[in-house]
A and B are shown apart, each in its own frame.
Chain A
């Protein structure tokens, strides 16, 4: 699998991990390594190369609960998978399922859609079900995760300047996502 895709996935994995914090920021390193080995196991699912633009925030909330949209078998061919030109071009286009992360709400699994070497969408394949916590992750955590992944990645930012981030705020911050992606 291409590096760009691994990086994208590791970012998403890191974002998932942001929701698994129990206390303060210092769990980042350990948490990351806990699933680092799973990156290679992510499976490209049906290279749907049609570049889907990110849908509006309001539309995404409804999607998060649907765990049944995994049947993307239509393979439109990863024809643009050219060499390591550096320009991330079409490399790694397709849909990728992250590993299942155990969060404080229960297991979470996300799928990213990559087109033109960029994440164009993040959806939840698996979220905890059946109770109040379900609501929490659907209404709160997943939209945040999705937005953070899209923002950090689409802007290709290395760091974030913002009003003083305390330790409590850190775990949900963009900076934490970026840090986590590079802690190895």
Chain B
């Protein structure tokens, strides 16, 4: 049953939406002071920082630091601190995903294949930028960057309810999760077609329609969801089940819905067929 919210005043809530990094990014804050200028100033800095990240990392901007590299890997000796940080994380992501996430061999907007950290930058940037909103005491946070979600809510307050969209029926939900912290990230073919490329073959991933990963950090939930897309259903489920602190829900190309054993939503876990 629902919490008797009549016992406490419903906290005020306010949203901001800005188009940044090519995505609609929304900030929802819940708390007493969401209409204060000081809070709005923090939100502005959040978006400003994301804008600065885009100016550094965009592969669509020839003048950005990554754009100037034109597909070459950054040189740790000359790269800016943020680019070095991302390059190191991309290496870690490649290791953790067994090469399923590999920033070094991706199709570039300018044609050809080369270094493109974009798949990691979005999650990393939003997670890092959330630092601008971290010390707003008594405020709950719900960030959404193009369908990837980062959440925080006080223990005495209602959890955020996260709908997982059905990739085959936009506007319909597969499941709903109650979360107080951490991240929910979804990769899939629904909105942009088969755009996730298996770096080992250079071919688009087609076995899965979508993968949603719940975990403590947006960066890794996002990377793992993307990496799982390059596997087939059983393989993805086995791999995701083996990741500590992460759970996942996936939709196969055939429309079957499957989840890891401890998926926190209403969908039952479905072990891979053996």
A-side residues, CB < 8 A to B, are 24-26, 28-29, 84-87, 144, 147-148, 151-152, 155-167, 169-170, 172-176, 178-179, 181-184
Contacts and interface: CB of A to CB of B under 8 A. Distances in A.
A51 to B, nearest CB: 18
Interface of B: 2, 4-7, 13-17, 19, 22-24, 26, 28, 142, 144, 146-149, 151, 160-165, 167, 170-173, 176, 184-192, 210, 212
Nearest to A160: B163
4 residue pairs, one from A and one from B, having the closest CB atoms: A86-B6, A163-B188, A162-B165, A182-B15
Contacts of B24: 25, 165, 167, 170, 175-176, 179
Contacts of B160: 158-159
Nearest to A170: B24
6 contacts: A157-B162, A160-B163, A162-B165, A163-B165, A164-B187, A167-B23
A159 B28 contact: yes
B149 A164 contact: no
Nearest to A173: B170
Interface centre among B22, B142, B170, B190 (most CB of A within 10 A): B170
A22 to B, nearest CB: 15
Contacts of A179: 15, 17, 24, 26, 28
Which secondary structure dominates where chain B touches chain A?
strand
Contact of A164 (B7, B147, B173): B147
Nearest to B3: A86
Given A179-B15, A183-B16, A155 B144 contact: no
Interface centre among B28, B151, B162, B191 (most CB of A within 10 A): B191
Given A160-B144, A175-B147, 14 more contacts: A24-B19, A25-B24, A152-B163, A157-B162, A158-B162, A161-B148, A161-B149, A161-B186, A162-B188, A163-B186, A164-B146, A165-B146, A165-B147, A175-B144
B164 A162 contact: yes
Contact of A86 (B5, B17, B147, B167): B5
Contacts, number: 148
A170 B188 CA distance: 16
A178 B14 CA distance: 11
Given A157-B161, A157-B162, A158-B161, A163 B22 contact: no
Contacts of A151: 163, 171-173
A157 B176 CA distance: 7
Nearest to A143: B171
A135 to B, nearest CB: 20
Interface centre among A26, A28, A84, A182 (most CB of B within 10 A): A182
A182 B171 CA distance: 18
A179 B26 CA distance: 7
A157 B172 contact: no
A166 B192 contact: yes
B164 A161 contact: yes
B28 A165 contact: no
B4 A87 contact: yes
